[in-house]
Amino acid sequence: MTRTDASSRAALVLSRLPGFAGLDAATLEAVARTAVPRHFHAGQVIYLEGEPATAVFILESGWVKATRMSPDGREQALSILRPVAVFGDIAVFTGSPYPGTVVALEDVEVWEIDRATMLDLVARYPQLALAVIRHLADRVLYFIGLVEDLSLRSVEARLANTLLKNAETKQGELIVPRRQWTTFDEMATRLGTVRDVLSRALHTLEEEHLLRVERHQIVLLDAEGLARRGNPQ
């Protein structure tokens, strides 16, 4: 892939980022010229919690997870990201180490922009700076919601909300596909619980006829009922 081809592809990916679609062509092109394509295999660590923040990453394809590890070895998911998404940016803009470990859940393609270049671009392009501010504000709201979920909602409620957020329609049914890496352990980490508790939560919702667990997917039988479960009054 030539540098011109790479820049064009990077610009297309950047334009798909929420908040970046409105950037003018000159700003998109300037950012795209600095982006370097990277490939990571499933299970590969992209960066570790506590490492110096050297780059921002834009996820083009595949899924990644960001986690923190407790002193006793328990893993808490900060976020599960699918394309197109940015990660590593909070640490880059605050000048702090990466706050969590990011691992590729499957083969992924990302674009890497080193820290010094990203800071220079933000200083030179006001539209980019505003897009970055909007994105970081969205991340703050996301983490406020995460704190609320973990502290105020039951596992069943968190599970119901997560299923609804990731549902898609297939052949007239509302389903959540189970990707190869979507094990019970991964799902439990995402919800801030353990495998046994997650299994009981799924069984409870299935007994209430809100969903049906199948081998490769979870079928949502009653979206309104799940919404009520996820947001109890």
Report d(CA 41, CA 49) in Å as an integer: 19
Q: Quick: pLDDT tens for 40-98.
A: 999 999 999 999 999 999 999 999 999 998 777 778 888 899 999 999 999 999 999 99
Q: Quick: pLDDT tens for 4-32.
A: 778 899 999 999 998 787 889 999 999 99
Report d(CA 78, CA 150) in Å as an integer: 11
Give the predicted TM-score (pTM) of the model: 0.83
Q: Quick: pLDDT tens for 192-203.
A: 888 899 999 999
Roughly how many angstroms between the first and final C-alpha of the chain, as a whole number?
A: 54
Which fold is adopted by the domain 3-151? Answer: Jelly Rolls (2.60.120)
In this prediction, residue 171 carries a pLDDT of 86
Checking if the pLDDT of 233 tops 60, the result is no
The domain segmentation of the chain, as residue ranges, is 3-151, 154-230
Residue 190 contacts residue 137 (beta carbons within 8 Å): no
CATH number for the domain formed by residue range(s) 154-230: 1.10.10.10
Q: Quick: pLDDT tens for 118-170.
A: 999 999 999 999 999 998 999 899 888 888 888 888 999 999 998 998 899 98
The yes-or-no answer to whether 3-151 and 154-230 have a common fold is no
Q: Identify the band that residue 232 occupies on the pLDDT scale cut at 50, 70 and 90.
A: low
Report d(CA 21, CA 11) in Å as an integer: 10
Which amino acid does the sequence have at 158?
R
